[in-house]
Each structure stands twice: as structure tokens, then as C-alpha cells.
Structure 1
Amino acid sequence: MTAAQITRFFQRTAWYDGYVLLPGAWVNPLEVLLLSVGGNLLSLAVPLVVMQVYDRVIPNQAMDTFWWLTGGGIVAVTLDALLRWIRAVMNGRMSAQFDHLVGCQVMNRLLDCRLEDYERVSIGEHLDRLNAVGTLSNYYVGQIIQVVLDLPFAVLLLVAVAYLGGWLVWVPLGLLAVYLLLVIVARRHFALARRQQAESNDRRFDFVIQVLQGLHLIKAQTVEEQMLRRYERLQASTAEINLRAGFWSRLPAESGMAFGQLVMFSLIALGSPLVRDGMLTVGGLSACMMLASRSMQPIQSACLFWLRYADAAIARERLQRISHMQPFRQPESKPLPATIRGGLELRGLGFRYAPNLPWVLQNADLSIPAGSQVGIIGSSASGTTTLLLLLRGLLRAMEGSVVLDHYHMAKWDTTDTRGLVEYVPSRGTLFRGSILDNIAMFDAACTDAALEAGGLAGLDDIVAMLPMGYETQVDNQAGNILPMGLIQRICIARALVRRPRVLLFDKTDAALDLDSEQVFSWLLDRLRGRCTVVMVSNRVRVLRRMEALFEIENGRIVPRTLADLDRTVAAEV
């Protein structure tokens, strides 16, 4: 399966696209066809055996024939069960292939999207979009092929009923028409309830994620009761919608069983007079009952498949939203040269997150020589983080340009700038694994460099006191156990592994304790002249170490001096 096929799959909405557009996710269609044909033909064996037993064996006391018929029926039932088992195994294989191929492509599209698109929706909605792959897998894998191949045999079975019972075939046909009307009504209500259910679940999951992320704060503020009341209201709304969706979802399935029994009872009631008058044999009536009941199964499966299309439609819409996220990587862009020295320049830079939002930066100019250390100050909403993301190449300028050593970054592939430009956020993030894994970012080839970077970040003495040293296991919840200063040092070491030419610190010093700040200051002295450092900070001690100071003011970057910084501090005091 290619990326182009996945893209077409996202953009199309026909019910059969999962099979037509994703051939790499399926086994040989001929195998599935042979299994379905064989299973449906074998299903005719039991009605034929019953008819022969009632009409020929019992009246003629032909026990030899009876044993032959019984043996043949057992063989047919066994083969039918075997074919169904093989088809189930193939469906499981196709499901695994579908989940792997489509899931990997969806994750790749999500990781390759622009940050502006990613941040427009919540984490909960992104999780729902990823979970949509499983919904489509359950819908597409096996069901389309099975429904399409079984429906013609339902017609064949009804033709057999007409051949044996004549006008009795109108009994299952009439009840099928009533059942189809019921399914049409149920689907209309189910589709509406299912969309409401999806929206309600989105709100509930977003709230749960927020609570879990801020559980320590909730306990510290003793607002558990308020959070519980909010969740109860969300849960009550969700439960009411789930009740409606569940009712309309179960109604066709439960009614299908009742209609199947009604078909058999109606055939008995209307066929018994025919048997009495000699127009139909007992075996023929029994065969009609079994064939009519068997013909209901594929039709009911098709109706339930059509009913559940509402789930697939919602899942397709979620995946289409991922496909609409603009990829950050441009196919024609080339990777930045490895000979970067680290000079940075902004030329008339303008950026905003959406056309209807105000400019974060506008007509901004800045020049940073290679190897220098520059401090950036600004309020929390002035755009300091946006500036660093633009310098890192994670955001694209809407006006002007960002130049790295005379290379216009908009014309180059900046998705992988490891070893060239590294960014350290204000709050460090750890992934499940060891401390060494987090520094090397799970690259075994960088183990030695990671240990050296840990030493530069002052981790050796602290990590030596841990039970397993650098092999100590951590995860994204480590902030609840490890000091924030230690986590921040790990993230600083992570940025130093590949000896970058440019280091961007986004208020990295804000989470450092006094000892960590001293180590950080020593590190800045070691880096002076060796790589370009752009530091966003509010700490005067750190800013005094910078060679130049700039402030973001009303979207522009204005030069500042230490005297200006002292006056600002004095005014605040």
C-alpha cells in the first residue's frame, strides 16, 4: 500500500472504498470468494438431507440411505464449520494488516503536520481520530466482502423456496420488506444519536484528560468535589445519548431474531394446509422453513452492515480531518547543509496563527552573529515562544523570511535539524524509558554522546545517587516524582547530544533550582563562541551573561541594553 492510496482513501467517502483503494490490506480476493461460495453451497446440505429423510427414508424405511444421508450431512456441516473458521482467520489477518498500514500512515500524517494545525484541536480529539482506524477496521475487514458475496446466495435460497413451496415464497419476502422498513427508520435515528454520542464523548474525554493531567493541582486546591460534579453532568448527558443510540442499534438485531421465528411460524401455518391437501410434502415444508430462515441471515447482516455505516462515516470524517492537516515537509525541499555555522537573521518577519487572528510578530528584524549569545525578554503573551519556533523552523513565516547562514529556511527542509538547531522548552518532557534513553532519544548509536552530554549538563553526580543510575526508568509522569530541575537538565543534555550549531532556550532556566542554575551558567560559559545561543528568560542573572538583549514589543523586536534591564527591574521593584 502506498501513501497515495492512503490519501485517496481519506478523501473518498464511498462505502466500498476501503476495499477498492486499499488492496494492500487484503488477502487474495479469489480465496475469499471460494470460501464464501463453498460455505453457502454447503449450507444447502442440511435442508436437502431433512427433505429426503421426511419424504423418502421414513416412508420407505430405507435405513441404509438414512445412514448415508446422515454421514453426508455431518461431512457437510464439518466442512462448513472449517470454512467459517478459515474465513475468520483471514479476517483477523486482514484486520491486523489494515490497522498496521492505515494506522502507521495516520500517525505519520499527524507527526508531519504543521504545528498550527495540530494545536487547533484538543488532545482528546486527536486520540479519537487515531481510534477511528480501529472503527474502520471493524467495518471494512471481511464485512464488505462477506455481505457482497452472501447476498446473491440469499436470492438463490429464496428461489429454492419458490421452487419447492410455490407461492409460500411471498411469506419471507413480505416479512423481509417489513424488516427493511424497520431498519430504515432505525438507521435514521441511530445516525443522529451516534453523532451526538461522538460529540458528547469528545467533551467527556477532553475533561478526563485535563483532570488526569492536573490531578495534583486538583488535590492541592481541594476541588475534587467540583470536578466530580462536572464529570457527573457530562456523564449523565452521555448516558442519555448512549441509551438512545443503543436502543436504535439493538432494535434491528433483536427484531431480526423475531422476524426469523415469525417466518418459520408463518410457513408452518400457511404450509400445513398444502401438506394436508397433498400439494406439498412434509420434507418440502421443512426444507422451505430451513431455506427461508437461512436466507434471512445474509439479508439481516447486510442491513446491520448498512446500519453501522453511521459509525464508519464518523470515523472517515475524523480521518479526513487528519488528511486535511497541511504537511510541514515539502517534497521539493532539500535538507539543510551540515556546514551551518549558526548565524541567524530575521528580515521583515510577520506571523500569525490564523488569518482572523492578530499578528504575533510583524515587520520584525533581528540579526544574531554565529557563536554569540542573545537574550530575549517579553511578556507571557508577547510571542517569545513563537519567535523561537520560527527560528527552529517549526513554524513558517507568513511575511518576510528567517535566514540561517544565508539559507532561507522556507526553501529548505527543516523537519530534521538534529545537530544543527535544537530547541529546549520551558517545561521538559520525558518519555517512557531510561534516563539514558531520554537523553539519546532511543538512538543506541548516540549512547556515548548522551553520556558525555549528561556530564556537561551536570547529571553525573545526581544520577549516581539513583538506584540504577542512567538506567533508571522514567516516563511522562516523572514530574510528579523527580525534581523539575533534574528533568530540565535531562532535556538540556538531550539538546547537547549532537553538538548543535544553534541552541534555543525557551525560559529553560525557569524550572531550575539554584544548583541547576549554577550548572546552567557554567554550561553557557562553555558554549560561548562554540554555538549560537538564543535565550528567552526573565531572570536578570542569566540575562546579564548575554552579549545582546532584545525585547518583543507590539510585534516588533527592539534592542535593549543592560541599563534598560536595570531600569525595568527597578520599576518593577
Structure 2
Amino acid sequence: MLRPFRGRLGVAVLAFGIKDSPLWLLPVITATVIDVVVAGGPAIRLAWVAAGAVALLSLNYPMHVLFVRLFFGTSRALGAQLRNRLAARLQSLSIGFHSRSSAAVIQTKVVRDVENVELLFQQAGPPALSAVFSLAGAITMTAIAVPQFLVVYLLTVPIAAALTLAMRRRSARRNEDFRREVERFSSRVGEMATLIPITRAHGLEHVAHERVARSAEGVRDAGITLDMLNGRFGAATWISFQLLGIACLVLAALAAISGWLPITAGEVVLLGSYFSILTGAITQLVSMVPLLAKGLESVRSIAEVMEEPDVERNEGKDEVAAVEGRIRLEGVGFRYPGGDAGALDGIDLDVAEGETIAFVGPSGSGKSTMLNLVLGFLRPSEGRILLDDRDMERLDLRSVRRFVSVVPQESVLFEGSIRENVAYGLDDVDDERVRAALRDAHALEIVEALPDGWDTVVGERGARLSGGQRQRIAIARALVRDPRILLLDEATSALDSESEQKVKQALDTLMRDRTTLVVAHRLSTIRSASRIVVLDHGRIAEIGTHDELVAAGGRYAQLNRIQSA
């Protein structure tokens, strides 16, 4: 992802090197001034040294501005790319992945973990560059002035290596523990927000609070453990290198006094300054281990999504330009991962174009699994599904779904206007088409009763509308797409009788001349279906019209008697 920014980053690093050069050049200027003072002149040399220092420092401002624009701009662009790629990846992952994953945890990855990667660049980049340039400058200038002293500098290497190795594994483990605790906490908060109506209805506020509080305490404890580790590491690093700095200064002074090396007073200061720069740079690099561990843990967290193999594969498959609506299931079976028994087994079903097929049966009989298989959210474990006599395994399902609409049990609206919700994803839909969809969905009366009409904002998840109103808006959203295949998953089961009747009228309009698969618990809503398929333990127990199944006196007739009673 950084490859396109190589040129920008190269210029940014060059600008940083120029703007940061005073850090490792000023000791030379200081040493020169001291030697001029000790020698008693000449004064003109001081003027030249001062002019050089001013020229060097004046470069800092423009180079710093250039660096910030290029480097931090790249960091922001990387963050935007990561979020966009995560969003695209999440859209390509299977429904199975999303059913296993917490929405709050996914949100944490997209928001918090990407932010940590940005912070890794912003907080570690400049200090790391400064440390590297300072190291290079200090070693180079020492090699020019007193090369014999480079041996002393080598003492810093084993100390830095030992501290880094001691810290790296423990820091990685503690950062992973902390991230897991934060994800658990995010999941608990999301769960609490979803369950607030249930919590309030049963007077269980204290229970919900305690669950979140325990998770918050887990974040606290993991954070304290991580902070203590970082604190001990920082203190040990600082003390070690400060002692080395003092030792270097004393050694340089002894060398000058005893005559071991031809070192002037200015060079004693120079060596002491450069060793302080050297140890400071190494301390800075080593102290970034906790920050790097935190950033890399976020990278690993993002990789859990980016490298998740449970992806719906559509690349290279046949695109579908038109759909007639014939569906055939041949020996279809499906088993959920880890399931003891198959959710569906040996399903053979031929659905003609424009036919309405209803699926009924007890909970767990495989009704919703059947819809998810036809929609392509799940792939058959055995057998095959054909659409217009073409194996769906060979089709690009994204192109197939352009001709499919789904009305679930609880339709979710996003926080926008009614018109935006109806025309969701359609760029070229005109007002008359939206109005016709609302009218056919018996939702125009809802719009006309609102002060802002279809520009009324419905609130998050459609909270400002009743369940029946949301369902009719969802039906209008399906109608405006003029689908060839329609999937209805218990679209009226959560409604009262009056709302159900209005929604049923809208559904009758929606289902006309379209291949429709309906999952229903209320048998009264499917009496007009072309055929009714009774599922039991993943198999077809009965199939026929309402009258045929009632006359047969089997499982459907039993269900009908219970509901009629």
C-alpha cells in the first residue's frame, strides 16, 4: 500500500535530514568556538562559525513544513486506504463470517486499529528518522575528528540489543492481551446498546452495567500491566545509557589529560556531546519498542480481516445480464461448520418463472437456510442450484443479485430520508419511479402524513417509524428495483393485525409476475402461494397447494388446525 508513495516518502526523508542536521552539526560548531577561545583567536573565525550556524538553522522551517506535508499526508492517505480496503473486504466476506463476528469488534478494527497504524507513522516516524540521522551524523563526525573513539561507541550496541530482545516478546504479548480486552469491551458495549429495551423492560439495568463494568475492569488491568512493563523498560534504558554517557565524557577527559590521544578541550566536549547524541538516539529507538508493538498488534488485528479466507469468490465467473427467474435445486444439502447434523438434506425442487413458493415448518427445519442458499450467502455442501438452467456456482453472484430483492422480518433503514432509503444504491432513479414504488407499497400515505414528505429523516435504523411503516418502506425499496426474484423472510410475523394487512396488500403487489420464495410462520399469509413446501429436519415432508395439503391431513394440516384454533 505504501509503494505508490515511495517518491513522496523519499523526498520527505531528505527534507527531514536537512532540517534535523543542526542536531549533529552543532557540537562541531561548539567545539570550534571552544578551541578558538582557548587559542585566543582569531575573532573572524567566530564570525564565520556564527554565520554558518545561522544558515544551517534557517533551513529548518521550510524543510519541516515540506516534511510534514509529505510524510503526514502519506500517513493520512494510508489510513484512508486501510479503512477503504477494510470496508471493501468486509463486503466481500461471506455472510457466515459476519454471523460469527461481533459488529462492535469489526468497528473497533476499522476505527481504533487503523488509527493506531496512523499513530505508529506519526509518532514513531519523526523520532525514528531523527535517531537514525543523529546516529549517522555522530558516528561520521567522530570518525573524522577522533576515529579511535569509535570503539567506545560499540559498547552501546550489545546493551541496546539486550534491552530490545528482553522487551520485544513480552511487549507483543501484553499488547495482544490489551487488544483482546478492548475488543471484548467493545462487544459488551454493542450488546448493551442493543439490549437496552429488554434490560429496561425487565429491570435488569444493574446486570447490564455489571457486565460492561467487568469488561472495563479487564481493559484497565490489561492496560496497567502493559503500562508497568513499558515503564520499567523505559527506566532501565534511560539509566543504562546515561551511565554510558558519563563514562564516555570521563574517558575523553582522561585521554586529554594523560596524553593517550591528541585531544583538545573542544574535542573533549565534542566527544561527550556526540556520545550523548548517540546514546540519546539509541534510547529513542529502543523506547519506541512499546509503540511499535502496539502498532504491529493493530496491523495483526487488521490482517485478521484482510487475510480471512471465508470470502465469496466471484472473480472470473460468468456475469449475468438478465434473469428470467427459473430456479432448480438438485439434491441440495447443507451442513453448518461444527454442526452435528445437516441443516438441509437431499432437497429437490423446481421453481418455475413467476411462481410463488412458500416454505413452512418448525424452527430449525431449514427455511431460512433455503433462502440463504438461493441468495448465494451460503454454498451447498452437496448438490447444486441452477438459475435459468445455469449452475449458480459458475455465476458472479453480485450480478445475479441486481435482479433480486429481499424483504426480511425486520427491515433495517439507515439514517437518511425516506427517498434515500427507497432509492438506496440507485443513482439514476427519478422521482416518479420512487413515488410509484411508495404508492404500490401502500407507503405513500406515510409520506404524505409527514411534514417534510419523503425528505423526512427516519432516524437511525428507522427509529422514527413504526414496524409496519418500516416494512412498507422496505417493500417500496424492493419495488423500485423491479426484481425478477423476490425473497420474503417472515416479512409480516413481527407486525400487528392492522399493519400486517397493509403490508400484505403491498406484498401482493410486489409478488405479482415475479418468482417469489416466502418463509412464513403465519399460514394465513401464504394460502395463495402456487405451492407450499413443508420442511421437517432439513427434508421436504410435503409439497402442494394450501387446499391439497389441508385435504391430505398431514403435517401442514396439523399446523393449520393449530393456528386456526
In the superposition, the TM-score normalised over structure 1's length comes to 0.87
With over 3 angstroms needed to count, the CA separation of the structure-2 counterparts of 1:375 and 1:473, relative to structure 1, is same
Structure 2 residues without counterparts, runs of 5 or longer: none
Q: 1:287-302, aligned counterparts within 5 Å? A: 287-302=270-285
Separation in structure 2 between the aligned mates of residue 419 and residue 194 of structure 1, nearest angstrom = 44
> Which of 233, 238, 243 is the equivalent residue of 2:224?
243
Q: Which residue of structure 2 aligns with residue 199 of structure 1?
A: 180
Aligned equivalent of 1:31? 11
Aligned to 2:494: 511
Query: For 1:143 and 1:450, how far apart are their aligned partners in 2?
Result: 52
Do the aligned partners of residues 528 and 101 (structure 1) sit closer, same or farther apart at CA in structure 2, a change above 3 Å counting? closer
What amino acid sits opposite 1:519 in the alignment? K
Q: 1:375 maps to which residue?
A: 358
- Give the corresponding residue for 1:567: 558
Instruction: Quote the residue 1:125 is aligned against.
Output: 105
Q: Distance in 2 between matches of 1:303 and 1:383?
A: 57
2:377 counterpart letter in structure 1 = L
Report which stretch shifted further, 381-390 or 30-39: 30-39
For 2:24 and 2:218, the matched residues in 1 are separated by 49
How far 1:416 sits from its partner (Å)? Answer: 3.4
CA contact (8 A) 1:392 1:423 kept: no
Partners of 1:114 and 1:325 within 8 A in 2: no
2:409 maps to amino acid: S
User: Residue 451 of structure 1 aligns with which residue?
Assistant: 435
Equivalence for 1:472: 456
**Distance in 1 (alpha carbons) for counterparts of 2:39 and 2:340:** 88
CA distance in 1, matches of 2:280, 2:211: 45
Contact 2:17 2:133 in 1 (8 A): no
Q: Is the 8 A contact 1:171 1:266 kept in 2?
A: no
How many residue pairs match? The answer is: 551
Could you tell me which amino acid in structure 2 is paired with residue 544 of structure 1?
Answer: R
Q: What is aligned with 2:69?
A: 89
Q: 2:516 aligns with which of 519, 523, 533?
A: 533
Distance 1:364 1:190 in 2: 53
1:197-227 residue CA offsets vs partner (Å, 9 max, x unmatched): 1222222111111011222221222211112
Query: Aligned equivalents of 1:496 and 1:329: distance in 2?
Result: 28
Task: Encode CA deviations 1:471-517: one digit per residue, 9 max, x unaligned.
Answer: 111343433x4211111111111111111111111001123333432
Counterpart of 1:458 in 2: which secondary structure? coil
Q: Report the Cα distance in structure 1 between the residues aligned to 2:221 and 2:316, rounded to whole angstroms.
A: 51
Q: State the alpha-carbon separation in 2 of the partners of residues 58 and 170 from structure 1.
A: 28
Query: 1:23-56: CA deviations, max 9, x gaps?
Result: 1244345424533543464433211111111111
Give how far 1:251 is off: 4.0
Which of 38, 51, 59 lines up with 1:71 in the alignment?
51
Say whether the 8 Å CA contact 2:104–2:186 is kept in structure 1. yes
Matches within 5 A, 1:157-168: 157-158=138-139, 160-161=141-142, 164=145
State the 1:57 CA deviation: 3.9
2:471 to 488, 496, 499: 488
Separation of aligned partners in 1, 2:387 and 2:426: 27
Once the two structures are overlaid, the 10-residue window that deviates more, 263-272 or 183-192, is 263-272
* One-letter amino acid matched to 1:241: A
Look up the match of 2:162.
181
Match of 1:9 in 2: none
Distance 1:373 1:166 in 2: 89
Give 1:128 deviation, angstroms. Answer: 3.8
Alignment of 1:310-389 (within 5 A): 310-322=293-305, 323-338=307-322, 340-354=323-337, 357-389=340-372
Identity %: 22
Are the equivalent residues in 2 in contact too, given 1:183–1:252 (CA < 8 A)? no
Greater shift, 524-533 or 446-455, is seen at 524-533
For 1:299 and 1:556, locate their aligned partners in 2 and report how far apart those are by CA, in whole Å.
69
User: Deviation digits for residues 388-407 of structure 1, max 9, x if unmatched?
Assistant: 12122222222112222222
Letter in 2 for 1:556: R
Tell me what 2:207 maps to: 226
Could you list the runs of 5+ residues in structure 1 that have no partner in the other structure? 2-21
Which 10-residue stretch deviates more, 495-504 or 508-517? 508-517
Which residue does 2:447 correspond to in 1?
463
Contact 2:8/2:71 (8 A) holds in 1: no
**Equivalent residue for 1:498?**
481
1:199 aligned partner, one-letter code: R
RMSD: 3.0
Corresponding residue of 2:87? 107
Q: Secondary structure of 1:549's match?
A: strand
Once residues 275 and 155 of structure 1 are traced to their aligned partners in structure 2, the CA distance between those partners, rounded to angstroms, is 25
- Residue by residue over 1:369-398, the C-alpha shift from the partner in whole angstroms, topping out at 9 and shown as x without a partner, is 222222211223222111112122222222
Report if aligned partners of 1:384, 1:552 keep a CA contact under 8 Å in 2. Answer: yes
CA distance in 2, matches of 1:502, 1:82: 62
In the alignment, the residues of structure 2 paired with residue 443 and residue 362 of structure 1 have an alpha-carbon distance, to the nearest angstrom, of 38
Check conservation: 1:372, 1:528, Cα contact below 8 A.
no
| Residue 495 to residue 502, structure 1, CA distance change in 2 (3 Å) | same
| Cα offsets for 1:513-549 (capped at 9, x unmatched) | 3343222332344345511222211123212232321
Q: Deviations over 1:113-158 (max 9, x none)?
A: 2212332222233234434344344446795798589647615513
Cα deviation, 1:296-347, whole Å, max 9, x if unaligned, reads 3443343244554433443343333322333313222122231x23222211
> Structure 1 pair 530/371, CA: closer, same or farther in 2 (3 Å)?
same
Distance 2:239 2:61 in 1: 25
CA separation of 1:267 and 1:121: change in aligned 2, threshold 3 A: same
> Alignment partner of 2:493: what SS?
helix
Question: Kindly tell me: are residues 60 and 506 of structure 1, through their superposed partners in 2, closer, same or farther at Cα, counting changes over 3 Å?
Answer: same
